[in-house]
Structure 1
Amino acid sequence: MEEWYLMTSQTRPNITGGYENDAFADYKGDAFAESLETELATTVILYNHDLSVSKEARCIIQGNGADTQLKSLERTVLFPIGTVKAGMYIFFENRYWLITGYPGNNTIYEKATIIVCQYLLRWQNKSGDIIERWTNYTSASKYDVGENGNNTIFLTSNNYTILVPYDDETINLEGKRVFIDTNKSNPRKVFKITRSDDVLYDYGEEHGRLLSLIADKTELNLETDNCELMICDYISPSTSDIPSEPPKPDEDSDFVARIIGKDNIRFGIKQLYTGILENSKGEELTDYNFRWNIVSDKKIHYSESNNTITIEIDNENYIGSSFLLQIIVDEEIVASKEIKIIGIF
């Protein structure tokens, strides 16, 4: 019955060690699963393209001992087959990493390449919603001196190549101006997305997609750019979020009040809320004065400007709790919104 075995007296030693072919095929997945339970593996958090869906996963990360600075920004990860796609994020070593390579497998495990994300890019969509994506940057002007111009005027100069997940929001980034500046207290570096390449990293629906962007240095416009929120060409939130048939005011009131903004706020990220007063026809009223009020047993940092309020949570211990944001007119509460504090990831 020697033909049952892969090894004979003439066979060189090999990884199968004499087990039958069918046994190897049946248990190769189990063997990799066992390796994920050892110290060779680590636990990471997998996220979809916009961080709205997450789950813990075990994987083996290779390349931690890089020999060059560029290689230190990359890793190779091994997962069970069918786990990841390009454009997903991995949270590992307190950083977000973007899956950039085409995931492949050898019928035992799935292998993909990841690259570290250096910056959280923020912009507004057409509705005024603030969108955020973690992104990877490489210099597209490595030897640029940082200035161009003539004897009359000098302008700053710089270019980046940016990798970002492909989705319905990022596909509209071309032509937008964005802050790319780690100085949050006094941001001044503004770039324009001048090119969006949706072909280079298109691996298909099964394997995921990325966008490659070119960001060209431009100048800050203090009239249109919101440095506090780090949003270029800032616009007020669109009233498209308001139902087409707003509720009618009660008999004792000439208006209804609304608070426009998300129901949750991330720790460490400023969030803008807008208050609107409307008549029974849904027309905005400007002849009423109102004030904001926050109901919480915690210290909430905020700043007000006209009919908007910007809130920031700087205490990590507040995560999981909530507070009330209210609009007050003539010492009466006319609108209230419960806001939950969530983590950065």
Structure 2
Amino acid sequence: MAVDWYLMDQPPIYNGGFEGEEFFAYAQDGFKEMLDTTMLCDNVEFINSDFSVITPGKAIIQSVTPDTQLKAEDRQILVPIGTLQTYSYIRFEDEIWIIASEPSNNKFYEKAVLKVCHNQLRWQDPETKKIFEYWCWCEDVTRYSSGVFKGNIVITYDKQYSLLLPMDKNTRRLHDGMRFMLEMSNDVPLVYKLTKFNGLTNNNKNVKLLNLSLTQTVYDENTDSVDMMLADYKQNNVEPTEKYGYTCELTYKADTISLSSFEKYSATFYDNEHNVVDDIEYHWGISDNDFDEKDLVLTTGDNFVKVTVKNNRDLVGKQFHLNVLSSVDTILASVVITITALW
């Protein structure tokens, strides 16, 4: 008779006479069933630092009606104990939220603080030349200043941002002095220099976070790429084509491709006087990752290639090099392309 109306699954029955055993037996199972059977929960995705693991799940999101503008960037998440230890981000409400605190629990569920990520920090590793892009929480720590510092001799920028992002094998390679292109002002990129690397303050047991302080610096058109939105950008493994009597230039709208989408990339060859050369034999190729033909398709045309990414969630966050290759497979030009989600 009880089976017809009992909500909870039958937990283990303890006969030791201790109330604590019965409490713990029901507590966590009861919370999990509440997520499965009530409307209190939200459908979310648990994501690791480099987006290589995306796991759907359910959670209770709190503080959704903040009282101040600053609190609008914060949420609290309740999940079964042991859920958050291996993840860095939560996706819900079509936004990315970083797990900004070490999870703690009250024997029923575990709880952590989330901060919304509106921006991505993008950089190129100076040694490997690989391009990375990480969602981060950003705070303007000089919001009440004029943005400049008037010294006795010169006027320097005073605008600073504080960034919070996951600490992993990629972000640990960041160092003081690296430059980043964060935003555009009237078609002019605003570049910032890393002035403080803080990996100690939030070096928790499970959720490890990195605090970065960035100070505005000067844009250098000789080293910074507006198209790539990268400061100190260097092409990777590109053979100097001047020795062949021509150069190869790639043109494209974006260096990212969403799932179930495509982008076109064009190659143009110029002689030493910058005249277009049409009789160069070349072909297109991909390097860095082994992609199945069903996931990544190249369709060539007249001086262009269309790269199509199929709908495979496992590809999100992965990168590959699209290369222009000579008849002997020498790399004449290259671009790093990142696969992104649909939103």
Give the TM-score category using the shorter length. Answer: 0.5 to 0.7
State the TM-score, normalizing by the size of structure 2: 0.67
Distance 1:238 1:87, change over 3 A: farther
**Distance (whole Å) between structure 1 residues aligned to residue 236 and residue 195 of structure 2:** 25
Alignment correspondent of 1:32: 31
Measured against aligned partners, the alpha-carbon deviations of 1:262-293 in whole angstroms (never above 9, x if no partner) come to xx9532999999x9xxxxxxxxxxxx955455
Residue 266 in structure 1 maps to residue 267 in structure 2: no
Q: Give the corresponding residue for 1:107.
A: 107
Structure 1 CA distance for aligned equivalents of residues 136 and 86 of structure 2: 13
Would the aligned equivalents of 1:87 and 1:209 in 2 still touch at CA under 8 Å?
no
Are the counterparts in 1 of residues 47 and 89 from structure 2 also a CA contact under 8 Å? yes
Q: Which residue of 2 aligns with 1:188?
A: 189
* Count of paired positions: 272
Q: Contact (CA 8 Å) 1:101, 1:112: kept in 2 or not?
A: yes
Over 3 Å counting, the alpha-carbon distance change for 1:21 and 1:329 in structure 2 is: closer
- For the 8 Å contact 1:178–1:191, the answer to whether it is kept is yes
Map of 1:159 onto structure 2 = 160
What is the CA distance between 1:319 and its match in structure 2?
4.4
Task: Tell me what 2:318 maps to.
Answer: none
Alignment of 1:101-250 (within 5 A): 101-125=101-125, 126-149=127-150, 154-174=155-175, 175-181=177-183, 186-204=187-205, 207-238=206-237
- Structure number with greater CO (CA < 8 Å, separation at least 6) is 2
Q: Secondary structure at the match of 1:29?
A: helix
- Give, in whole Å, the separation in 1 of the partners of 2:112 and 2:232: 37
The answer as to whether partners of 2:97 and 2:114 remain within 8 angstroms in 1 is yes
Provide the aligned C-alpha RMSD in A. 4.2
Distance in 2 between residues matched to 1:34 and 1:148, nearest whole Å:
57
Cα distance in 1 between the residues matched to 2:181 and 2:264: 17
Tell me: CA distance 1:212–1:87, structure 2 relative to 1, closer, same or farther (3 Å).
farther
Distance in 1, Cα, partners of 2:160 & 2:262 = 27
Structure 1 residue 325: Cα displacement: 6.4
Shift of 1:143: 1.9
Sort the Cα spacing of 1:233 and 1:24 in 2 relative to 1 into closer, same or farther, 3 A.
same
SS at match of 2:26: helix
Which residue type is aligned with residue 191 of structure 2? V
Cα offsets for 1:65-119 (capped at 9, x unmatched): 1111111100000011111138600011111100011110111101111100120
Measured at CA, do residues 21 and 51 of structure 1 come closer, stay the same or move farther in structure 2, by a change above 3 Å?
same
After superposition, where does 1:56-67 map in structure 2 within 5 Å?
A: 56-67=56-67
- For 1:229, the aligned partner's letter is M
What amino acid maps onto 1:266 in structure 2?
A: I
Which amino acid in structure 2 is aligned with residue 34 of structure 1?
E
User: CA offsets per residue over residues 153-204 of structure 1, 9 Å max, x none?
Assistant: 6544300111011012212222210011166x93511000111111100112
Counterpart position of 2:271: none
Give the TM-score, by structure 1 length. 0.67
SS at match of 2:189: coil
* Cα displacement string for residues 199-239 of structure 1 (whole angstroms, at most 9, x for unaligned residues): 100112xx221011100000100000011000100112158
Preserved CA contact (<8 Å) 2:47 2:87: no
Matched, 1:79 2:70: no
Task: Extract unaligned runs of 5+ from structure 1.
Answer: 1-18, 240-263, 276-287, 303-308
The structure having more radius of gyration, on CA atoms, is: 1
Shift of 1:127: 0.8
Q: How many percent of aligned residue pairs carry the same amino acid?
A: 29
Instruction: Identify if the C-alpha distance between structure 1 residues 139 and 325 changes in structure 2 by more than 3 Å, giving closer, same or farther.
Output: closer
Q: 3-state DSSP class of the match of 1:24? A: helix
Letter in 1 for 2:113: T
Question: Given that residues 86 and 209 in structure 1 are in contact (C-alpha distance below 8 angstroms), is that contact kept between their aligned partners in structure 2?
Answer: no
| Separation in structure 2 between the aligned mates of residue 217 and residue 326 of structure 1, nearest angstrom | 34
Secondary structure of 1:31's match? helix
Q: 1:327 offset after TM fit, Å?
A: 4.6
Aligned pairs for 1:292-311 within 5 A: none
Aligned to 1:70: 70
Find the counterpart in structure 2 of residue 13 from structure 1: none
Query: Contact between 2:299 and 2:307, CA under 8 Å: does it hold in 1?
Result: no
Query: 1: distance between equivalents of 2:168 and 2:92?
Result: 23
Query: In the TM superposition, what whole-angstrom CA distance separates every residue of 1:282-333 from its partner, at most 9, and x where no partner exists?
Result: xxxxxx955455975699x97xxxxxx9x888xxx964599x9675657x99
SS at match of 2:236: coil
Provide the residue aligned with 1:95 in structure 2: 95
Is the Cα–Cα contact under 8 Å of residues 179 and 187 in structure 1 kept in the other structure? no
